[in-house]
Amino acid sequence: MNSKNKSNRSPWSWIPSLYFAEGIPYIIVMFVASDMYKTLGIPNSKLAFWTSLLYLPWVIKPLWSPFVDIYSTKRKWIVWMQLILALAFFGVSFALQLPWWFPVTLMFLWVMALTSATHDIAADGFYMLALDEHTQAFFTGIRATFYRLAMIAGLGLVVIITGLILDNTGLDTLNVNIRAVSRSRITDTIHEEDIKIVEEDGKPRILVFPEDVKVPLYNKADPDPCDSAVIYFALSAPPEDDKIVKMTFGHKKGSQDIYLASTGIFEFDKSNWNIPKKATIKVKPNLKETASARFDAKAGNVPFSWSVSIAFLGILFLLLSLYHKYILPSPESDNRENKKQEGSYFHVFATFFKKEGIIPSIIFLLLYRFSESQLTKMASPFFLDSHENGGLALSLTEKGIAYGTVGLIALMAGGILGGIVASRNGLKKWIWWMAVSINVPNVVYIFMSYVLPDNLIVINACIAVEQFGYGFGFTGYMLYMLYIAGQGEYKTAHFAIATGFMALGMMIPGMISGAIQEFLGYQHFFIYVIICTIPSFAALWFIKIDPAFGKKKME
């Protein structure tokens, strides 16, 4: 195929795959890593701090964006960065099987973040070089949708695969049905010394004592009021191959007035597999009638499950690298011999900060996502956390399906609609509505944190509202960055600088979000998140946008 035909390829043949490839490593580093560390037992404050710090490469990427802008072609940068990303995915997959997995996986995630940030510079620059202004505006919604589609695929498909592997590895999940009944109906209790475990042949399974769990309803008229019961866990045989079995126990569905009042995490090995571990179940004093709940005891192979799904991404990026080497067009403006810019490194930066109205623009970039940056860090832990900790207690599979189906459809609808209305009426007319769209739907998290619905239809509906709002609102943010970068030369470097400010606005609030959530609890944290939308709207008053920007030009 000659170079002329290659340069005239339809944007539909490469924009979806390119921005899907741009979104995958970002979502893995910034969000799926949180899921991974959460299921591996890392606390919210620690995982929020370290995964937010991984945002740093996106913050400082303007420091090396001029080199990407000046040296070689954007096309070559894209292909090589995708190849390195494939190797980084394989590195994380391997590191999860090591004894010192936490620092090693963080190291590979840093490699992934640095490479992904460089890939973003090249991809965004290539987008502006290969398309005219109107085509850029039209495809902004498509581009943002496939970028977000990658994020949903990471939070959906990757998490679903991990959850399915988790459910089919390790030990079988044990469902523990618990009833709250009047004290007169509890005739006997079990004590640790009464438990005798006989080793069984084959794969170990989780044992619970007693099998029929009853908790007394609180009655202050009783001579000795009681509202709790003790149950014990053990294994039926020693773990295989000297492995450590990590078991989690928590509320799954049913009455929320029945709750776990002790730790729900236990570890068994060859030395203690038959030594019972104690858990305490309580009922709230306001519960006066018989009720029931289901608790789950799980002991899947978490590291192996994540290793397999992340290795799958390594294979995907090998294929994407080969595909883009063949399919990406070769615009004349990306030809190294035709490059005009000969400015110095510092000149590239200076021209960005000399743009008209740049100070209000920077403030807008920092504050537009101030609320969302904190919400997104704690959304995944909220879905996965136990009811006892204020979460929804979803499994990885349930969370993945919710984001990968309903969330995906809602996001695509919001993103595409945002691109269409902006290309028809211009960004200026819609930016306020887009700000409302990205912020206000977050109130669904307040509802979920107070109600703790165990109905997946209700949870999916809330996710759909939030994802549609995000898709529509984020389109305005992306268009505004294109608007800033398009004023003058060095479009690639200036867009990278703009996204660096965006990343800074996400990183700093995200780093402290885990500590704030642990201090406030999920309910008050989500109220705090809504209060944090105020700076987003305040910043809008000071920016100026050309009314014609984004509109289709009349022939």
* In the predicted structure, residue 104 carries a pLDDT above the cut 80: yes
| Residue 332 maps to a domain | yes
Best CA proximity match to 474, nearest among 371, 543, 547: 371
Bigger pLDDT: 151 vs 543: 543
Q: What confidence tier does 161 reach under pLDDT thresholds 50, 70, 90?
A: confident
| Residue 545 maps to a domain | no
Look at residue 172 and give its three-state secondary structure: strand
* 8 A C-beta contact, residue 341 and residue 490: yes
User: What is the C-alpha to C-alpha distance for residues 480 and 431, in angstroms, rounded to an integer?
Assistant: 9
pLDDT of residue 319: 94
Q: What confidence tier does 134 reach under pLDDT thresholds 50, 70, 90?
A: low
DSSP conformation class of 73: -
Best CA proximity match to 176, nearest among 119, 96, 253, 69: 253
* 8 A C-beta contact, residue 163 and residue 36: no
Tally of domains in the chain: 2
DSSP conformation class of 500: H
User: What is the C-alpha to C-alpha distance for residues 259 and 278, in angstroms, rounded to an integer?
Assistant: 15
Question: Are residues 350 and 393 both part of a single domain?
Answer: yes
Looking at 251, 271, 299, the residue that finishes a domain is 299
- For residue 77, count other CB atoms closer than 10 A to its CB: 21
Question: Are residues 510 and 366 both part of a single domain?
Answer: yes
| Residue 553 maps to a domain | no
pLDDT of residue 334: 59
β-pair partners for 209:
232
pLDDT of residue 46: 83
User: What is the C-alpha to C-alpha distance for residues 170 and 177, in angstroms, rounded to an integer?
Assistant: 22
| Residue 548 maps to a domain | no
- Crossing angle (nearest 10°) for helices 370-384 and 427-439: 40
Question: Are residues 327 and 370 both part of a single domain?
Answer: yes
Cis peptide before 210, with omega less than 30 degrees from 0? yes
User: Which tokens is 390 given?
Assistant: 């204020």
pLDDT of residue 329: 80
Which of 98-112, 275-289, 408-422 is most confident?
A: 98-112
pLDDT of residue 54: 87
Rounded to 5 degrees, φ, ψ at 25 are: -65, -30
The mean-pLDDT minimum among 4-8, 298-302, 514-518 falls in 4-8
| Residue 400 maps to a domain | yes
In sequence order, which residues have a C-beta less than 8 Å from that of residue 424 and are 6 or more positions away? 551, 552
pLDDT tens sequence across 468-506: 998 898 888 888 888 888 777 777 778 878 888 888 888
Question: Are residues 402 and 518 both part of a single domain?
Answer: yes
User: Which tokens is 300 given?
Assistant: 């899947």
Q: What confidence tier does 113 reach under pLDDT thresholds 50, 70, 90?
A: very high
Bigger pLDDT: 128 vs 111: 111
pLDDT tens sequence across 390-413: 888 887 778 877 876 787 788 878
Alpha-carbon distance values, 446 to 414, 449, 521, 531 (Å): 22, 5, 11, 12
Q: H/E element holding 153?
A: helix 133-153
CA angle 489, 493, 498 (to 5 degrees): 105
Looking at 267, 299, 331, the residue that finishes a domain is 299
Q: How far apart are the first and last CA of the chain?
A: 32
* In the predicted structure, residue 383 carries a pLDDT above the cut 80: yes
User: What is the C-alpha to C-alpha distance for residues 315 and 292, in angstroms, rounded to an integer?
Assistant: 46
User: What is the C-alpha to C-alpha distance for residues 144 and 313, in angstroms, rounded to an integer?
Assistant: 21
* 8 A C-beta contact, residue 328 and residue 77: no
| Residue 555 maps to a domain | no
pLDDT tens sequence across 425-475: 888 888 889 989 988 888 999 999 999 887 888 999 999 999 899 889 888
Q: What confidence tier does 380 reach under pLDDT thresholds 50, 70, 90?
A: confident
* In the predicted structure, residue 355 carries a pLDDT above the cut 90: no
User: What is the C-alpha to C-alpha distance for residues 229 and 305, in angstroms, rounded to an integer?
Assistant: 34
* In the predicted structure, residue 167 carries a pLDDT above the cut 80: no
* 8 A C-beta contact, residue 90 and residue 309: no
Bigger pLDDT: 479 vs 319: 319
Question: Are residues 311 and 376 both part of a single domain?
Answer: yes
What is the DSSP track for 256-302? TTEEE-S--EEEE-TTTTTS-EEEEEEE-TT--S-EEEEEEEEE--H
Mean pLDDT, the chain, as a whole number?
Answer: 83
* In the predicted structure, residue 91 carries a pLDDT above the cut 90: yes
User: Which tokens is 42 given?
Assistant: 């890392």
Which whole number is the average pLDDT over 162-167? 82
Number of H helices, E strands in the chain: 21, 9
Which whole number is the average pLDDT over 228-235? 90
In sequence order, which residues have a C-beta less than 8 Å from that of residue 354 and are 6 or more positions away? none
| Residue 552 maps to a domain | no
Which of 64-68, 314-318, 352-356, 368-372 is most confident?
A: 314-318
Question: Are residues 158 and 180 both part of a single domain?
Answer: no
| Residue 550 maps to a domain | no
User: What is the C-alpha to C-alpha distance for residues 298 and 41, in angstroms, rounded to an integer?
Assistant: 13
- For residue 436, count other CB atoms closer than 10 A to its CB: 16
* 8 A C-beta contact, residue 316 and residue 94: no
pLDDT tens sequence across 183-192: 878 777 788 8
- For residue 202, count other CB atoms closer than 10 A to its CB: 8
User: What is the C-alpha to C-alpha distance for residues 63 and 123, in angstroms, rounded to an integer?
Assistant: 17
User: Which tokens is 532 given?
Assistant: 């944090």
* 8 A C-beta contact, residue 250 and residue 296: yes
User: What is the C-alpha to C-alpha distance for residues 210 and 50, in angstroms, rounded to an integer?
Assistant: 41
Question: Are residues 260 and 349 both part of a single domain?
Answer: no
Alpha-carbon distance values, 508 to 56, 120, 290, 474 (Å): 10, 20, 48, 19
Best CA proximity match to 306, nearest among 22, 49, 87, 28: 28
User: What is the C-alpha to C-alpha distance for residues 275 and 459, in angstroms, rounded to an integer?
Assistant: 39
pLDDT of residue 337: 46
For the sheet with 258-260, list strands across it. 206-209, 228-235, 277-283, 258-260
pLDDT of residue 551: 62
Look up the domain containing 127 and give its range: 3-167+303-540
Question: Are residues 162 and 195 both part of a single domain?
Answer: no
Q: H/E element holding 207?
A: strand 206-209
Question: Are residues 197 and 145 both part of a single domain?
Answer: no
Rounded to 5, what percent of the chain is helix, strand, coil? Answer: 65, 10, 25
Question: Are residues 239 and 349 both part of a single domain?
Answer: no
pLDDT of residue 400: 78
Looking at 299, 320, 341, the residue that finishes a domain is 299
The mean-pLDDT minimum among 30-34, 132-136, 179-183, 201-205 falls in 132-136
Question: Are residues 48 and 196 both part of a single domain?
Answer: no
Which CATH number fits the domain that encloses residue 492? 1.20.1250.20
* 8 A C-beta contact, residue 385 and residue 148: no
Q: What confidence tier does 343 reach under pLDDT thresholds 50, 70, 90?
A: low
Percent of the chain with pLDDT over 90: 18
Question: Are residues 360 and 490 both part of a single domain?
Answer: yes
Q: What confidence tier does 7 reach under pLDDT thresholds 50, 70, 90?
A: low
User: What is the C-alpha to C-alpha distance for residues 428 and 470, in angstroms, rounded to an integer?
Assistant: 18
